[in-house]
């Protein structure tokens, strides 16, 4: 009889403990609840809203395979994005999430993204998340505050007692959850001395230092402070002053001066162990140097590796997590298998169609080069303009919103007779010679923003650029010429 009573009591205790654990899991683990915000490693999705999937025609500019909400569902707790100023067709200003250039990849208005994050916070009352916004066009605090207000997300924001200097004193996750101040927002950059209207918008470099972000060689990942400039060479001083370390751990491929997120190496880059440049070893090295685990780790294609494995090890919660959405941990098959054929720089480069088994040749004004351009997601034929040696450039190729297909080719002997209007957030310009580049920079205009061509770069690898990846053929097929190509830096 006594044994039966004891068994009942024991079972009740186990059930109560399990229920309590489920109710007090903070950021997917009960072991994190009593840890201070700055004493946890938060996994971050680099360029979170910029995805490489069917919605963007598998844009080479995409840094993630899944959207921001899926990232959060799977355990990401830091989202980074770039904010750009765009003039709309009515002369008004919009603040968009764009990857380097809005003509390259536009993920829509910042306010819409914030609305989706607010809804996610509504559904997940035991989650604390961080936003890091790159303030590309220097939006001021009132402007950003207005967008946060419009999104209805301000009730969740956290404001530290001191906003003008780094601090080692941060609340625990339990305290942030209890107060429902579960959103920490950093801006790179925003002057804290002039921000009197929205102190919750924290200047990143007042609180955080980071290592180098522009890495093309796996052996070059470093733990040294690289930003802000005042802390270069003074990592120890940054740590002793209360700065939180942020580790950028993503790799770029580089072809003829064009840098883009590396898919070929991501299985190792995000892995908990392996070859040179893997995330696990890099995190261990930085932990040893800092005397503590990094507060933030930012990666591309976060689900691959998986990167969360390394973060869980750093947090000591491996095997003690719950509530995460399971995702594949490898590169999608559609990304790893190339269906693009590159014959030579003087023949034809064939790019696959998104919804068809055929292709449409788009003649370029070079002696023997032609390129098959993709139709993206359009269900009807799209004709690109001919750019002949003696005629003016016509109307650029119309492409869907968020498309990044370069749509206007200006050969070396073409003449831009009059300004050419570019469609809103959908076109790029390809300059195939220095002279054409110069002409276009002064003559080609857009009703919404500046011409997206950055610079002319001569090189014999132009044609091969179109066949780098199957998913990038949509973006780069029109760059295949024997003359040169535009240089982009997709950071």
Residues classed as catalytic: 46, 99
Contact 473, 467 (CB under 8 A): yes
Give 388-393 contacts, CB < 8 A, sequence gap 24+.
388/414, 389/365, 389/413, 389/414, 390/415, 391/415, 392/416, 392/417, 392/418, 393/420
Task: Tell me which H or E stretch contains 95.
Answer: strand 93-99
Residues 6+ apart with CB under 8 A from 384: 362, 373, 397, 407, 409, 478
First to last CA, the chain: 70
Where does 100-203 show beta strands of DSSP type E? 101-109, 129-135, 183-188, 201-203
d(CA 9, CA 450): 71
d(CA 421, CA 448): 9
- CA 364 to the chain's CA centroid: 32
Helix (H, G, I), strand (E, B) or coil at 131: strand
The strand pairing partners of 362, in sequence order, are: 371
């Amino acid at each position: 009889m006594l044994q039966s009573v004891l068994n009942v009591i024991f079972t009740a205790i186990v059930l109560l403990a399990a229920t309590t654990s489920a109710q007090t899991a903070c950021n997917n683990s009960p072991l994190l609840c009593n840890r201070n915000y700055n004493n946890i490693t938060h996994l971050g999705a680099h360029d979170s809203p910029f995805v490489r999937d069917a919605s963007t025609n598998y844009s080479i500019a995409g840094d993630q395979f899944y959207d921001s909400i899926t990232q959060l569902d799977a355990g990401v707790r830091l989202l980074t994005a770039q904010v750009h100023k765009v003039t709309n067709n009515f002369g008004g200003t919009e603040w968009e999430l764009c990857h380097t250039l809005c003509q390259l990849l536009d993920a829509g208005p910042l306010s819409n993204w914030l609305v989706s994050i607010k809804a996610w916070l509504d559904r997940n009352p035991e989650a604390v998340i961080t936003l890091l916004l790159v303030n590309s066009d220097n939006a001021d605090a009132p402007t950003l505050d207005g967008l946060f207000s419009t999104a209805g997300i301000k009730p969740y924001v956290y404001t530290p007692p001191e906003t003008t200097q780094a601090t080692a004193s941060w609340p625990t996750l339990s305290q942030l959850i209890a107060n429902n101040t579960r959103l920490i927002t950093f801006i790179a950059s925003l002057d804290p001395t002039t921000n009197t209207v929205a102190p919750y918008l924290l200047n990143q470099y007042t609180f955080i230092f980071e290592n180098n972000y522009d890495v093309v060689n796996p052996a070059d990942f470093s733990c040294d402070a690289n930003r802000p400039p005042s802390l270069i060479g003074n990592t120890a001083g940054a740590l002793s002053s209360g700065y939180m370390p942020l580790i950028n751990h993503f790799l770029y491929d580089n072809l003829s001066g064009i840098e883009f997120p590396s898919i070929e190496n991501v299985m190792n880059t995000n892995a908990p162990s392996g070859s040179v440049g893997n995330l696990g070893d890099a995190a261990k090295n930085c932990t040893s140097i800092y005397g503590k685990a990094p507060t933030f780790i930012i990666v591309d294609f976060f689900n691959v590796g998986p990167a969360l494995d390394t973060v869980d090890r750093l947090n000591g919660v491996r095997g003690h997590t719950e509530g995460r959405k399971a995702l594949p941990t490898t590169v999608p098959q559609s990304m790893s298998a190339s269906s693009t054929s590159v014959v030579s720089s003087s023949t034809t480069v064939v790019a696959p169609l998104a919804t068809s088994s055929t292709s449409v040749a788009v003649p370029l004004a070079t002696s023997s080069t032609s390129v098959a351009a993709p139709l993206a997601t359009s269900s009807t034929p799209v004709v690109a303009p001919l750019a002949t040696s003696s005629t003016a450039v016509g109307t650029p190729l119309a492409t869907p919103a968020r498309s990044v297909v370069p749509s206007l080719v200006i050969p070396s002997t073409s003449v831009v007779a009059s300004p050419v209007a570019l469609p809103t957030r959908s076109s790029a310009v390809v300059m195939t010679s220095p002279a054409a580049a110069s002409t276009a920079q002064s003559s080609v205009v857009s009703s919404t923003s500046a011409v997206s061509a950055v610079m002319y770069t001569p090189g014999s690898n132009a044609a091969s650029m179109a066949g780098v990846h199957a998913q990038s053929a949509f973006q780069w097929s029109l760059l295949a010429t024997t003359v040169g190509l535009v240089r982009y830096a997709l950071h």
